[in-house]
A and B are shown apart, each in its own frame.
Chain A
Amino acid sequence: MSEAISAVIAFPSENPQLYTQSASENARDSFHKRRAIASTTEPRWIQVLLIAVALLFLLGFLLLPLVLVFVEALSGGVQAFVSAITEADALAAIRLTLLVTAIVVPLNLVFGIAAAWVVSKHEFCGKRLLVSLIDLPFAVSPVVAGLVFVLIFGAQGWAWPLINEGWHFALPWLGEFTLQLPKIIFSTPGIVLATTFVTFPFIARELMPLMEQQGTDEELAALSLGASGWQTFWRVTLPNIRWALLYGVLLCSARAMGEFGAVSVVSGHIRGRTNTLPLHVEILYNDIGQSSYGAAFAVASLLALSALVTLILKAYLEWRHGESLAANHRH
């Protein structure tokens, strides 16, 4: 008999999902989610203690700074607040931030969709390498991100000649041409590049796990019904990922608006010209002068507000469309 048992074929890994719960098990599970079981959970006082520690920590450590921003922003009164954010340099900073975001997000959106499409719907060797490479900007300090662009386009960078003098060349019959790159560092294009680098993986990483989980069945079905590639994409793929897409765009925008380190390196901090909102906050904060302290917080509160909006929208999206977002959220 022992031979019979040891001759057992390896059982395919148990898949708990195959075991469908009975009504009583459902009732028991939901009941347990509401009540603690006697000896298989911590004593009540420990639970209360842990909850208290966790909540106090969150309140005091995370929430307090946010509260402080708004309190300090309004500490000089509403009048001071309004004048701080409508001041010329501040408005310029707002405009620049919005402009950069408006350029960067669509760029990364297109990239994110393309990358997620190719990675999740196709098989090819080197896929894992590609995903790791896409993740690279996450592992790089924002200052280093700015640095790499300065190395290329800065005054001693190897593309400098192209910027400073341009590249003269002659084509037969067509005459002479000059290819000249615009100023990158200390100018808007540099800020765009650096911000693109830093927010590069956001949308792609939001979409990839979801699209992979969704598989290719629906797209194949569409193809078999006669749809073209583009039609399949617009009518089948996109609608399935729209909430994750929105979510990714949200995260990308929030990060793009708030990027500090990388932009700080490439921008040159020229007030009114190459200052984004975060940089403007820094300048105001470091200024000596009573009013600029409050002004710094006033401007910062705009950014904090956008962060709050992001969080609220994120919570809403997760609540309403949680199943349509990726199964695992890895930030």
Chain B
Amino acid sequence: MTIRIENLSKRYGDFVALDDISLNVREGELLALLGPSGSGKTTLLRAIAGLEPADAGRVLLTGEDASQLSVQARRVGFVFQHYALFRHMNIRENIAFGLRVRRGEARWPEARIRERVSELLSLVQLEGLESRYPSQLSGGQRQRVALARALAIEPRVLLLDEPFGALDAQVRRDLRRWLRELHDRTGLTTVFVTHDQEEALELADRVAILNQGRIEQLGTPAETYDQPASPFVYSFVGAVNRLPGEWRDGRVQVAGLDLAGPAGDSGSGSVELYVRPEHLQLTQAGEGWTATVLGSQRSGPRQRLWARLHNGDAEVEVELPAGPAAPVHIAGAEVRLAPVQYGVFPG
């Protein structure tokens, strides 16, 4: 199923949650809605499900205007952040719930419902636990039950609201991989919300980065990381150094260094240069900035360096490969740094 969001807006009193958002979700893709709290990502997800009526704009599910559809009729599988499992029902009853509330012709015969439940239990690897109650399961197990329950109704799209937020790190990593496998196996269009950029970048086919109710960038994880479209995306996804500079004769002057504008742009006025630590390289004398090393720290296969530029006193963080052949930098030493990839934005 495809989802098309057209000019969706939503406010809560004075608070603007969604600001004229438009987005296309492709058939079978795994899309992440990434952003800090308050960015509107959960609101957007709930709007797709019909749990939040929008003030303006519309949602089209496979071309059909969903504003005519109630939550019940949309057939979206929604997995809540805190699972929302029915505590007074056991696992089997929870998973079968969506099938049991169907009426009339849509209702499945009992045998088929039971079969589906077993199918799902083995899909989420919880066979043997169907008679247990949610309170008797761990967080990760509850999460899988919530997933199975949403999948039981054969939804057209799967929506997950911070699915791994309440779990500890190791469980989160395992479930991430597992979700990706599940998605590849079922081919179901999936949209999930997260504030964890590592999660989004690792899992998704495409990422939509939201900030204050707007989409700052929509692209593959690689695109959002390597070619951030805005200062916000630069800062939110990965670490970044920011240096002030200005346009001069079609080139950017930053701390005494003359750089080409990215992608041949040109402009005027003051700017900020955004460059990731791993995109700063050591150069020979005569090129790049001169800087004094403030300190360094070894971190696994990488080495982190802090240095102060001579021109302007800005401090930067540099990430360099480490290992037996790599040079060791001690505080006070002088190095020369040059950015190999960067973004320039009006400052």
B168 interfacial by beta-carbon distance below 8 Å: yes
Q: Which of B12, B72, B140, B175 lies in contact with A28, CB distance below 8 A?
A: B12
B261 interfacial by beta-carbon distance below 8 Å: no
Contacts of B339 in A (CB 8 A): none
Contact B174 A5 (CB under 8 A): yes
Contact A8 B12 (CB under 8 A): no
Interface residues as binary, A3-46 with B (CB distance below 8 Å gives 1, 0 otherwise): 01110111101101001001111011011000001111000000
The residue among A2, A11, A13, A38 with the most chain B CB atoms within 10 A of its own CB is A11
The residue among A22, A24, A25, A37 with the most chain B CB atoms within 10 A of its own CB is A24
CA gap between A23 and B174 in the complex, in Å: 30
A174 interfacial by beta-carbon distance below 8 Å: no
* Minimum Cβ distance to chain B for residue A211 (Å): 29
Contact B138 A38 (CB under 8 A): no
B277 interfacial by beta-carbon distance below 8 Å: no
CA gap between A122 and B43 in the complex, in Å: 48
B244 interfacial by beta-carbon distance below 8 Å: no
Q: Which of B42, B72, B140 lies in contact with A8, CB distance below 8 A?
A: B140
Chain A residue total in the interface (Cβ 8 A) = 25
CA gap between A10 and B138 in the complex, in Å: 5
A23-B17 contact given A5-B174, A39-B72, CB 8 Å threshold:
no
A39-B139 contact given A5-B125, A14-B166, A31-B12, CB 8 Å threshold:
no
Contact A39 B17 (CB under 8 A): no
Contacts of A125 in B (CB 8 A): none
Select the stretch in B45-53, B93-101, B251-259, B324-332 that faces chain A.
B45-53
* Minimum Cβ distance to chain B for residue A77 (Å): 55
A23-B37 contact given A5-B175, A8-B171, CB 8 Å threshold:
yes
Contacts of B135 in A (CB 8 A): 13
A11-B140 contact given A19-B166, A40-B71, CB 8 Å threshold:
yes
A49 interfacial by beta-carbon distance below 8 Å: no
B267 interfacial by beta-carbon distance below 8 Å: no
CA gap between A24 and B46 in the complex, in Å: 13
Contacts of B52 in A (CB 8 A): 28, 37
- Within A301-327, the residues touching B (CB, 8 Å) are none
Contact A24 B17 (CB under 8 A): yes
A129 interfacial by beta-carbon distance below 8 Å: no
The residue among B12, B15, B43 with the most chain A CB atoms within 10 A of its own CB is B12
Contacts of A38 in B (CB 8 A): 50, 53, 70-71
Contact B53 A37 (CB under 8 A): yes
Interface residues as binary, B32-44 with A (CB distance below 8 Å gives 1, 0 otherwise): 0000011110110
Contact A22 B38 (CB under 8 A): yes
CA gap between A279 and B210 in the complex, in Å: 72
* Minimum Cβ distance to chain A for residue B128 (Å): 10
The residue among A8, A14, A19 with the most chain B CB atoms within 10 A of its own CB is A8
A27-B141 contact given A8-B171, A39-B71, CB 8 Å threshold:
no
A25-B37 contact given A11-B171, A30-B13, CB 8 Å threshold:
yes
Considering only CB atoms, which chain B residue lies closest to A13 in the complex?
A: B135
Interface residues as binary, B59-80 with A (CB distance below 8 Å gives 1, 0 otherwise): 0000000000011100000000
* Minimum Cβ distance to chain B for residue A7 (Å): 9
Interface size class of B (residues with CB under 8 A): 35 or more
A14-B125 contact given A23-B38, A24-B43, A38-B70, CB 8 Å threshold:
no
A8-B125 contact given A14-B82, A31-B12, CB 8 Å threshold:
no
Considering only CB atoms, which chain A residue lies closest to B212 in the complex?
A: A24
* Minimum Cβ distance to chain A for residue B9 (Å): 14
Contacts of A28 in B (CB 8 A): 12, 17, 43, 52
CA gap between A4 and B171 in the complex, in Å: 8
Interface residues as binary, B277-299 with A (CB distance below 8 Å gives 1, 0 otherwise): 00000000000000000000000
Considering only CB atoms, which chain B residue lies closest to A22 in the complex?
A: B37
Contacts of A64 in B (CB 8 A): none
Contacts of A225 in B (CB 8 A): none
A27-B174 contact given A22-B38, A38-B70, CB 8 Å threshold:
no
A288 interfacial by beta-carbon distance below 8 Å: no
Interface residues as binary, B301-339 with A (CB distance below 8 Å gives 1, 0 otherwise): 000000000000000000000000000000000000000
* Minimum Cβ distance to chain B for residue A56 (Å): 31
* Minimum Cβ distance to chain B for residue A106 (Å): 45
A1 interfacial by beta-carbon distance below 8 Å: yes
A27-B125 contact given A10-B138, A39-B71, CB 8 Å threshold:
no
Contact B50 A39 (CB under 8 A): yes
Contact A1 B139 (CB under 8 A): no
CA gap between A40 and B139 in the complex, in Å: 26
Contact B53 A14 (CB under 8 A): no
* Minimum Cβ distance to chain B for residue A87 (Å): 59
CA gap between A86 and B52 in the complex, in Å: 64
- Within B127-170, the residues touching A (CB, 8 Å) are 135, 138-141, 144, 165-168, 170
Interface pairs (13), CB distance under 8 Å:
A1-B181, A8-B141, A8-B171, A11-B138, A11-B167, A24-B12, A24-B15, A24-B40, A27-B12, A38-B70, A39-B70, A39-B71, A39-B72
* Sample of 16 more A-B contacts, CB < 8 Å, known A8-B140, A24-B39: A4-B174, A5-B125, A5-B174, A8-B139, A8-B174, A9-B138, A11-B171, A19-B166, A28-B17, A28-B43, A30-B12, A30-B13, A37-B52, A38-B70, A39-B71, A39-B72
